[in-house]
Structure 1
Amino acid sequence: MGLFMKKCFLVILIILLFIPFLVSAQKQPSGISSSKERVVLVTVEKVSEGMSFPTMMITGSAYFSESSEVAAESAGKVLKVYVNEGDAVEIGQPLASLDDSLLSYSVSSAEASTKQAKSNLDKALRDFNRNKALYNQHSISQQKYQDSLTDYTNAQSMYISSLSQQKQLETQKDKMVIKSPLKGVVISKNVEVGEWVNSGGVVAGVATLTYEAKVYIPETVLPYIKAGQSVTVKTSRKEYTGKVLSINSKGDPATRLFLTRIDLGQDPDLKEGVFVIALIPSGSKIHSLLVPRDAVVERNSVKGVFKVSEDERVRFIPVKIIGYNGGYAAVSSVTEGSLKKDDQIVLDGNNAVNNGVKIKITSKIG
């Protein structure tokens, strides 16, 4: 009997615990979800109008503005290598040195010869000055005076010759230390300690950390671009405002393309050989809708902007990029009339929204 009562008590307790949940479920209106709709915080900006150049996207590569394959001017065995690839270097900084033991001996010998020649010259000059004074006093013969002058002239020639040889040997010795001609970075190390390097053999490659883009533009855009003009250049990681350095006057007769160099400035994160896209003006300025570049996103390989509706939901509007004007993109809507001046479009937060998503505007620009 005691066991039966315990079981009954347990059943009643379980029923009492579930009653509040059953009552709550009955009070919940049918067809209404208890979860809240997701709302995305965004900033918006109005679509404007203005003038801009239509542009053409032209691909190319980034290059060092200046680079050098530093060669040895004398032959010799590599004694030391002071740098590795990637090291920063200053102008005149040693890259490597060659064995100069024989030249050091020759320089020491030349210094001794020059010292002796200078001593001989000083003595010859003293003798000449003394004999000149005696000759003016008619105390010595003209022959002795002439001999003294000849000795002085010969001593002077010997000293100049000896000094010149010493300087040449010192210069050769200095050349046994190969130095960087640029301030920048080491891009290649071509020798190791103990190797023999011939005169003209490359020891290391160095380059500045300033870059330029090289692209080949078609002749159709030549009327709309010139040296000194600012153009936008993009890599996979960054966007640059470059300046056109030069447009080659000689094009390729087969392709009608002209090499164009665009200064990208200094950037330690950029690398030579990086793929670039240059936005080159391809026509006269036109009037168009303008949207912030950052407002343009891509969905399923289609570029567009998110337009804000009156109920604070967003709709993706496909657009065609016509060109660029500073930080703005000149666009036209793919469907006529779907985007117009003063429409509000999502700026910050556009990567977090999709069609029909509810938004909350935190700030408005324009």
Structure 2
Amino acid sequence: MIQNTPIKRKSMPRTIGLLTMAIMSIFFVACGDRQSEKEEDHPDVIRRQITEYRKEINELTVKVNEMERSLIARGEQMARNVQTPVSVDTITPGLFQNFFRVSGTVEAVNTAVISPETSGHVTQIYVNKGDQVSRGQIVARLSTDVLEGNVEEVKTSLRLAETVYERQKRLWAQEIGSEIQYLEARNNVESLRSRLATLQSQLEMSVLRSPIAGYVDETNIKEGELAMPGTPIMKVINLDELYINSDVSEANLSFVERGKMVTLRFPAFPDEIMETPIHRIGHVINPENRSFRMQLRIANQDERFKPNMMANVSIATFGVEDAVVIPSMLIGFDTQGHYVYTAGERNGIMVAHKTYIERGPDAEGKTQVKSGLAPGDKLIVRGHHRVSNGDPIRIIENGESEVITAHR
């Protein structure tokens, strides 16, 4: 065992090396002992030896760590003897676009609120909330007993009036009777026919139909209740097309125009990204929040998106050609500024370089680098959080195992 005695600064690295050699010697001696002494081949003896060796290794490791901390406290930087596996991307200039983002809500383009045009008690409701309906489908029916009685009464009166009119017409053709009798008979027939048409129209109003195809979203009445004209009893929505409504600050008015392509995302579907044009722009600024309405219109063929869902809309403000663009998550910061890690060769060995950059604007998880990186530089994109400046690295391809190997 190595005693914990004070060590001078210049002798500490040598001491660490001696400790490493001591550990290796223990294993060599153990192997030799097992080969020379047959009695030590017993499993119980081997297990006891393993336990003792592990205990000694742990004690040595603790002392090595203490010495390393002592060196670090004195300003020494410990040399690393492993190659950290990393992945790199080669810097290639491209288009950088700056965006601002606004929130939006989803609204169905076609929505119908069904209400009766005449009063009556609801006798039958043919659909339930959530049911799919077609255009023109009957969804409810009102009581028609009084109307049907009036219709039969008018029909009876009309048959009599038509008989009287035909007789007066024949007599008038024979110049028998007065003209006023003939005109009164004809007027009575026309009046009853008009009244019958009105009653039949009111009878038709007692049958409530869906004006659009879609789904029953709300039912606000029950069978037996009284329905009044203008009172909503049912709501039907169609999900084939949707509006995305957003309130945009007036400060961004110059960046928004009808037909401009924007990026649309839904928090409920993180992998769904859509490029769609601006459908409509409001012409009035809301004085309460100094914003105006912007509206998108999208197809919803699979009906995944629902009304009142949240959406995020990204709108480009400017673009830069041939810009150096990197993921924002790779950028670190210290007292000297922003930096990234790049891969380069030093003395025939690939090492990580801490490269300071001038950071530009951020957009959609990307950052424009104004200076510090050049096309062709190899940017460490995986393993950047495990390296420091000057550390040996090993560049691996995607899918290759990230096993840390000793650098000899």
TM-score by length of 2: 0.59
**Cα distance per residue 1:326-349 (max 9 Å; x no partner):** xxx76425x954685786898xxx
* Aligned position for 1:248: 282
Q: 113-122 vs 61-70, which deviates more?
A: 113-122
Structure 1 residue 84: Cα displacement: 1.8
* Aligned position for 2:254: 223
Structure 1 residue 250: Cα displacement: 0.7
Q: Does 1:279 align with 2:314?
A: yes
* Aligned position for 1:65: 109
Structure 1 residue 251: Cα displacement: 0.4
**Cα distance per residue 1:281-327 (max 9 Å; x no partner):** 33x33333468xxx88899xxxxxx999698x9x9xx9987457xxx
| Equivalent residue letter for 1:205 | K
Tell me which of the two structures has the higher relative contact order, counting C-alpha pairs closer than 8 angstroms and 6 or more residues apart: 1
Based on CA coordinates, which of the two structures has the bigger radius of gyration?
A: 2
Does the CA-based 8 Å contact 1:87-1:185 persist in structure 2?
yes
Unaligned runs of 5+ in 2: 1-37, 48-84, 332-339, 345-349, 388-394, 400-408
**Cα distance per residue 1:171-218 (max 9 Å; x no partner):** 111111222222222111101112222222211112221221111112
Whole-angstrom CA distance in 1 between matches of 2:210 and 2:254: 41
Structure 1 residue 54: Cα displacement: 2.0
Structure 1 residue 232: Cα displacement: 1.5
* Aligned position for 1:159: 189
Whole-angstrom CA distance in 1 between matches of 2:361 and 2:307: 29
* Aligned position for 2:14: none
Assess, with a 3 A threshold, how the Cα gap between structure 1 residues 92 and 18 changes in structure 2: closer, same or farther.
same
Does the CA-based 8 Å contact 1:242-1:265 persist in structure 2?
no
* Aligned position for 2:20: none
**Cα distance per residue 1:133-162 (max 9 Å; x no partner):** xxxxxxx6xx63863x851x4333222221
Whole-angstrom CA distance in 2 between matches of 1:307 and 1:120: 106
Does the CA-based 8 Å contact 1:213-1:262 persist in structure 2?
yes
* Aligned position for 1:170: 200
Does the CA-based 8 Å contact 2:122-2:222 persist in structure 1?
yes
Q: Which of 247, 251, 264 matches 1:233?
A: 264
Q: Does 1:263 align with 2:287?
A: no
Whole-angstrom CA distance in 2 between matches of 1:196 and 1:109: 25
Assess, with a 3 A threshold, how the Cα gap between structure 1 residues 46 and 63 changes in structure 2: closer, same or farther.
farther
Assess, with a 3 A threshold, how the Cα gap between structure 1 residues 332 and 228 changes in structure 2: closer, same or farther.
same
Does the CA-based 8 Å contact 2:262-2:278 persist in structure 1?
yes
| Equivalent residue letter for 1:161 | S
- Counterparts in 2 of 1:51-90, with a 5 A limit? 51=95, 53-90=97-134
Q: What's the % identity of the aligned pairs?
A: 19
Assess, with a 3 A threshold, how the Cα gap between structure 1 residues 15 and 156 changes in structure 2: closer, same or farther.
farther
TM-score by length of 1: 0.65
Q: 216-225 vs 49-58, which deviates more?
A: 49-58
Does the CA-based 8 Å contact 2:343-2:380 persist in structure 1?
no
Other structure's SS at 1:85 match? coil
Q: Does 1:106 align with 2:141?
A: no
Other structure's SS at 2:223 match? coil
Q: Which of 176, 184, 188 matches 1:144?
A: 176
| Equivalent residue letter for 1:217 | V
Unaligned runs of 5+ in 1: 1-11, 22-38, 133-139, 300-305
